[in-house]
Amino acid sequence: MNPQKKVVSITSGAPLQSKGLSVPIKAYSDLAQKELKLFLRTMFDSADDTLFKLSDKASSNEQQERFFNAMRAVRLQRRQMETKFFEGFRKSFLDLSAGISIAARQQDKVSVESLSLVQNDELEERVALETMSNKTASANKTTLSYLNQRLAYLLGKDELAEADNPVAPINLCDAFADSIHLLELDIDAQLIVYKLFDQFVLTKLSGLYEELDKLLVTHGALPELAKKESKSEKSEAKKSASGAQSVHANSGDLKPIFRSLQKLLTQVQGVNNDVMVAAPTYQGPTQPTQQLCQVITSMEAPSANDENELQAWMSFDMREHVRGAIKASAPDGRALPISRKDNDAINLVAMLFEFILEDRNITSSIRAILARLQLPLVKLALQDQRFFDQKSHPARGLLNALASAAVGFNQQSDRFQERLKFKIEEVVSRVCNEFSSNLDLFELLLADFQVFQEKEERRVALVSQRLQDAEEGKAKTENAREWVKTTLNKVTEPFKPLPEFVETLLSEAWSKVLFLNALKSGYETDDWNEAVFTIEQMLWTVAGEHTRSTRPVLLKVIPMVQKKIRKGLNDVSFNPYDSSRLLKELEALQISMLKEASTKDGTPEQAEASKNYLVINTNPGEKLRETDEELSTTETMAAIDQVLTQQVDEDDVSLAEFVKTVDEFGAGSWFRMVKDGEEVRTKLAAALPKLNKYIFVNHAGIKIHESNRKEFAQMLQSGRINLIDNGAVFDRALKAVVQNLRTPK
């Protein structure tokens, strides 16, 4: 994202002026800057935590990476963002003092009318900025009015436009928009940061405005100006601060995406004729939108008591029922036609639900419940076309949250599913019974459902984490045992056959030392290498070919081996009696090898080779032996990996493609799996590729399946497991509608 090209600010920049500030206005600026620094500090601290939590709950690797990248970007660019924000803030004050109108800069803002369907990110950002600034301005209408009057007095002006006040919400939002463009965030992550700015900065401005007002009074700026806030203004401010919105205010303001969809609808033959609609050239009266909403409210719809409610909704023709209801509501049977705008809204909602009702990513029982939202959402769309444009729209958020929560819902009932189903039905029932025109209902229900869902997710996450920890521990233990076994086999191979007590010493005693080192330190560490080298030293002393040439080295190595083995066995609390017995037998054999060596002639080459058993490189991270002809732990690991990972046959190209797909899946992905002849929904709770293990759980976090990498790929290939698309259901439905309209059958 190029911040130079993406113009979404509410206002734009102007040349920086050098004229200084008067004493009162400088004090005004200093106080505002001091408080805003505190607000921003809190916001940035919360941004880090919020983005981390969102990444932990991400439904896909791509989404998780997006949130992690956003978190890192905000963390790394925090100071630069603060600097950029206050540069814009101070610039507004200098412009104010220089007599430059800040409001005039609004001429450069993006024209909403110029945005098309493919520029929805810019639209989303602009809508977010305008919504935040307008809400805050409305909540502080009276205080801002007095601040503007006092500033105008200090500047010697008759009046001051709100947009010319540097601390007005519109200017603070603009400054923050400029700072956030330092980050190359996608729109979803960007909206989250904007929401934090709203929560931790804009909602705190009421107190700041009060303090600024008192400050200007102390500087003699219209002290006689008394605040007389009416009850209606208090009510309006309270309503705005709580985020309450009425859909009526937006009924005549058509949004870009909705207009684009209307154009597509007109290109599709027959779609606009599904309901009684006013002709394009019709100039007469049309069915009032509110009356149309009342007609829809009175319509009969499939009952929740129907034996097959989903099928009933799939057969429910919204357009036909609307036509019949309108005619029935007219006294003489001659009803006014529906406006083309209202008809398009009805068509689009009907098409969205046609997708949702057939979406196999949502289990059928939940689709039947969500279908009940069709009528209230039609009423919403008739009154508020932002429903189609804004990803942050509360009604869209609620629909997405309900569908996403039920992603793991199976046909078999249990307490967890019954509790979730009851909650979803409760939310849907309240929408159907209570919605008229206020978006507060959707916001309230969404917040309540999110609290419910977070509580359920925490419980499931705890169970899943315990399962993952146990499986990782189990797999790590099994891996360590296999590694120790493979290491011992390869190290002892050149020295076989071995005396029975040496076999016992290695398999029953020293294997524990290796096992403990493997778990504690890993396989490419000094501790592990030294433990392996001790085996090689010991084997050389009792099973190597010794002569007078190797005897000097043998004399040095034997006490070293005895000391290291005794210490190693003590460290793993090996039975003292058995330890003493094995060491005595080892010592006796080593002494006999010394005696035998003194009777044989050797060569200079043997003497040189024997020195390899003395050379120990203790530098961290390097091999303990200088020779590369003997066993290395890297070779050992490769040998074990070949056994454990069950590599796919290179000739099986088709399976290799599915293996690649398996490697792309991350923990948290949901699947439809055929198990014991039945389809169940399961979540990949733990993807442990290094341990060649994939753990699947049900909605309650209980393990129901385990497979290795190859088995997972084979299940994908055969269709016994399929990924569930748990993305926002509204966005998927809207995308499908657009696709269908562009390529009509």
For the stretch 654-687, pLDDT in tens is: 788 888 888 888 777 888 888 888 888 888 887 8
- pLDDT band of residue 162 (cuts 50, 70, 90) is confident
Helix (H) or strand (E) holding 722: strand 721-723
Is the pLDDT at 412 greater than 70? The verdict is no
Whole-number pLDDT of residue 117: 40
Percent of the chain with pLDDT over 90: 5
Residue 210 lies in a domain: yes
Phi-psi category of 340—alpha, beta or left, where left has phi over 0 and alpha has psi -120 to 50?
A: alpha
Among 73-77, 369-373, 454-458, the least confident range: 454-458
Residues 219 and 323 both lie in one domain: no
Among 138-147, 377-386, 591-600, the least confident range: 591-600
Whole-number pLDDT of residue 266: 75
Which ranges constitute the DSSP H helices of 544-621?
A: 551-571, 576-597, 604-610
Residue 455 lies in a domain: no
d(CA 145, CA 225): 11
Question: In angstroms, what CA-CA distances link 470 with 345, 523, 695?
Answer: 52, 21, 11
Is the pLDDT at 387 greater than 60? The verdict is yes
As a whole number, mean pLDDT of residues 236-262 equals 53
Whole-number pLDDT of residue 236: 43
Residue 375 lies in a domain: yes
Among 143-152, 251-260, 684-693, the least confident range: 251-260
Whole-number pLDDT of residue 200: 86
Question: In angstroms, what CA-CA distances link 351 with 321, 334, 428, 571?
Answer: 15, 27, 20, 71
Is the pLDDT at 328 greater than 90? The verdict is no
d(CA 314, CA 294): 23
Residues 270 and 337 both lie in one domain: yes
d(CA 74, CA 238): 32
Comparison of pLDDT for 500 and 608, the residue scoring more: 500
- pLDDT band of residue 135 (cuts 50, 70, 90) is confident
Is the pLDDT at 3 greater than 50? The verdict is no
Which residues, listed in sequence order, are joined to residue 722 by a DSSP beta bridge? 672
Is the pLDDT at 240 greater than 50? The verdict is no
Query: For residue 337, which amino acid is it?
Result: P
Residues 616 and 662 both lie in one domain: no
Comparison of pLDDT for 452 and 267, the residue scoring more: 452
Whole-number pLDDT of residue 28: 92
As a whole number, mean pLDDT of residues 213-219 equals 88
pTM of the model: 0.51
d(CA 207, CA 221): 19
Whole-number pLDDT of residue 104: 53
- pLDDT band of residue 617 (cuts 50, 70, 90) is very low
Is the pLDDT at 237 greater than 50? The verdict is no
Residues 330 and 430 both lie in one domain: yes
d(CA 396, CA 359): 17
Residue 179 lies in a domain: yes
Question: In angstroms, what CA-CA distances link 728 with 169, 350, 355, 683, 731?
Answer: 31, 18, 13, 18, 5
Residues 207 and 350 both lie in one domain: no
d(CA 560, CA 564): 6
Residues 524 and 429 both lie in one domain: no
Residues 120 and 48 both lie in one domain: yes
Whole-number pLDDT of residue 279: 64
- pLDDT band of residue 202 (cuts 50, 70, 90) is very high
Output Rg (C-alpha) for the chain, integer angstroms: 37
Residue 462 lies in a domain: no
**673 phi and psi angles, rounded to 5 deg:** -125, 135
- pLDDT band of residue 473 (cuts 50, 70, 90) is confident
Residues 101 and 209 both lie in one domain: yes
CATH number, domain of 707, equals 2.30.30.140
Identify whether the C-beta of residue 208 lies closer than 8 Å to the C-beta of residue 35. yes
As a whole number, mean pLDDT of residues 708-721 equals 88
As a whole number, mean pLDDT of residues 272-276 equals 50
Comparison of pLDDT for 12 and 488, the residue scoring more: 488
Among 80-89, 137-146, 383-392, the least confident range: 383-392
Whole-number pLDDT of residue 58: 65
Q: What strand order describes the sheet that includes 693-697?
A: 703-707, 693-697, 678-688, 670-675, 721-723
Most confident residue range from 183-192, 391-400, 448-457, 601-610: 391-400
Residue 14 lies in a domain: no
Residues 123 and 269 both lie in one domain: no
As a whole number, mean pLDDT of residues 132-159 equals 86
- pLDDT band of residue 1 (cuts 50, 70, 90) is very low
Average pLDDT, the chain: 77
Q: Which residue range is the domain that position 566 belongs to?
A: 470-640
**625 phi and psi angles, rounded to 5 deg:** -115, 145
Whole-number pLDDT of residue 636: 42
Whole-number pLDDT of residue 205: 92
Token pair 């560490």 is found at 525
Among 262-271, 451-460, 602-611, the least confident range: 262-271
Is the pLDDT at 13 greater than 50? The verdict is no
- Looking at residue 246, the DSSP 8-state letter turns out to be B
d(CA 471, CA 701): 14
- pLDDT band of residue 731 (cuts 50, 70, 90) is confident
Residues 633 and 699 both lie in one domain: no
Domain total in the chain: 4
Residue 188 lies in a domain: yes
Residue 452 lies in a domain: no
- pLDDT band of residue 336 (cuts 50, 70, 90) is confident
Residues 264 and 324 both lie in one domain: yes
Residue 8 makes CB contacts below 8 A (sequence gap 6+) with 110, 122, 125, 126, 129, 177
d(CA 198, CA 118): 27
Residues 659 and 546 both lie in one domain: no
